Amino acid sequence: MRENTQTGDNIHHQAGRRFLLVVSLLSLLISGCWDDRELNELGIVSGSAYDWKDNEWHTTYQIINPSSGSNNTGGSSGGNTSSPPFLIYSAKGNTLMQAVERTNLTSTRQLFFSQNRITVLGEALAKRGIGQLIDMFLRKPDARQTVYVFITEEEAGLILSQLMQLNRNQSAGIQLMIEQEARLTSYYPGIQMVELARQLCSESASAAVPEIKLSGNKVMDRTSDIAQTDLPSRIAFGRLAVLKGDRFVGWLSQAEAYGLSFITDKVKMSNISFPSKPEKSDKDDASISLLHSSTTVRPIWENDHYVMDIDIKADGTMTEVGSSLKLENEATIRQLERYIERNISEIMEASWRSVKKLNADVTGFAVSIHRHHPKQWQRIKQEHNWDTVFQNIQIRPHVKVKIKRIGFNSNSFNSVNKN
């Protein structure tokens, strides 16, 4: 009798498990997405721009034009290629979301931000503060936190109207430009929104954002404008904007931005021009293509202030020599390496002087001090004197460059021609 009871319980238990399994499968089949929207109901945002003018937000959105046949990587995939690859929608509001809602009043499609690639900020907005904008990007469910951030001295909305020749999707083209720049030249440390927020909330409370601008005075916003070999106005990168807290405090030049890239270990590949015979002329007439570079920063407390020991190791290939040098000579190679090391040190020191004037720790020295000297950092925080400590910091560059290859010719052309 007991065995029959146990058998019956097992049968009921197995039947219950089968029932729950069937219910679970049915729930998957009949459930739907709570915010399901058809593709033809969405205006896909590929780029965004934000300005502050007349005490209110001015927002501009670049919407992919489905009838133009443009795709995400440039080129054409059918459709009407004579129509613009994207459309521009602008609105104003007391808050960002109010401006977004007002954009919907002039469009048949609801804005969809998950494909947003870049966002451009006007300098006036950056001076006011971008904390509210960052909050929106981190809070809104469909906002893309990996958008690349740029600052422009001009009106930010104008940047989004500029057409590009090799990329019909302008925002995708700008993304490719900044990623390519990081790989090949390393002047500007491209920064995404989530990384910008992280840096502004770090011990340094500062960040650097590349400047984006138009190289000419005219906005090329008609498809007929780009039907020429050389455009009078193109999208270009300029200086480096420095933020402290969430506010813009000043600019670094391209050369100063380059020095900052060495300090912050952002140099991947790059070209350095330098004088091959500085004792005769300080004019740059030689170049090396750096293939590898690494930076290590170590804070040292000396005589009541910090000294940042910055060790840089780099190697590369000679790509240009304008003077008469015999590169097959080992002593000549060693001398060129010393010239390059001196050049990099001078670039870094010039950048550091400009950073100190702005009093914004875009170098990340505060993070390094906190990591290596946590007790001293806690005392600095309690005394609220980081700005004073920062101004007293000295840098001590130690640069080691190795010329691994000299190219196809063992001697420079001028030395051969002279002989």
Q: Which of 252, 286, 301 is the last residue of a domain?
A: 252
pLDDT for 62 equals 92
Q: Which of 222, 252, 282 is the last residue of a domain?
A: 252
pLDDT for 77 equals 42
The answer to whether residue 9 is domain-embedded is: no
pTM: 0.85
pLDDT for 328 equals 84
| 235 and 270 in a common domain | no
| Spatial distance between the Cα atoms of 85 and 73, rounded to a whole number of angstroms | 12
The answer to whether residue 101 is domain-embedded is: yes
Tokens of 406: 């000299």
Query: Residue 16 pLDDT more than 60?
Result: no
| Spatial distance between the Cα atoms of 169 and 162, rounded to a whole number of angstroms | 11
pLDDT for 14 equals 62
Q: How many CB atoms lie within 10 A of CB 231?
A: 17
| 246 and 97 in a common domain | yes
| Spatial distance between the Cα atoms of 242 and 238, rounded to a whole number of angstroms | 13
| Spatial distance between the Cα atoms of 140 and 234, rounded to a whole number of angstroms | 32
Lowest pLDDT segment from 72-86, 161-175, 223-237? 72-86
pLDDT for 79 equals 44
The answer to whether residue 72 is domain-embedded is: no
| 238 and 313 in a common domain | no
The answer to whether residue 129 is domain-embedded is: yes
| 105 and 162 in a common domain | yes
The answer to whether residue 31 is domain-embedded is: no
| 131 and 239 in a common domain | yes
| Spatial distance between the Cα atoms of 317 and 336, rounded to a whole number of angstroms | 12
What own/partner pairs with CB < 8 Å and gap ≥ 24 does 172-181 have? 172/46, 172/72, 172/73, 172/74, 172/117, 173/74, 173/235, 174/47, 174/117, 174/118, 174/148, 174/150, 174/212, 174/235, 175/117, 175/118, 175/148, 177/235, 177/237, 178/148, 178/210, 178/237, 181/237
| 222 and 274 in a common domain | no
Question: What is the tally of helices (H) and strands (E) in the chain?
Answer: 13, 13
| 151 and 44 in a common domain | yes
- Kindly give, in sequence order, each residue whose CB lies less than 8 Å from that of residue 63, ignoring residues fewer than 6 positions away: 43, 44, 45, 46, 86, 87, 88, 89, 107, 109, 111
- Reduced to 3 states (helix: H, G, I; strand: E, B; else coil), residue 82 is coil
| 268 and 240 in a common domain | no
Helix 330-358, helix 254-263: angle, nearest 10: 100
Q: Which of 203, 222, 252 is the last residue of a domain?
A: 252
| 373 and 278 in a common domain | yes
Query: Residue 76 pLDDT more than 80?
Result: no
| 132 and 186 in a common domain | yes
Please state the domain count of the chain: 2
Per-residue pLDDT of 112-142, as tens digits, reads 888 899 999 999 999 999 999 999 999 988 8
pLDDT for 209 equals 97
| 354 and 333 in a common domain | yes
Structural domain boundaries, residue 198: 40-67+84-252
The answer to whether residue 337 is domain-embedded is: yes
Distance in angstroms between the alpha carbons of the first and the last residue of the chain: 114
The answer to whether residue 279 is domain-embedded is: yes
Q: What is the mean pLDDT of the chain?
A: 86
Comparing 28 with 164, the larger pLDDT belongs to 164
| 171 and 270 in a common domain | no
Comparing 305 with 162, the larger pLDDT belongs to 305
The answer to whether residue 5 is domain-embedded is: no
Q: Which CATH number fits the domain that encloses residue 338? A: 3.30.300.210
Tokens of 248: 């813009």
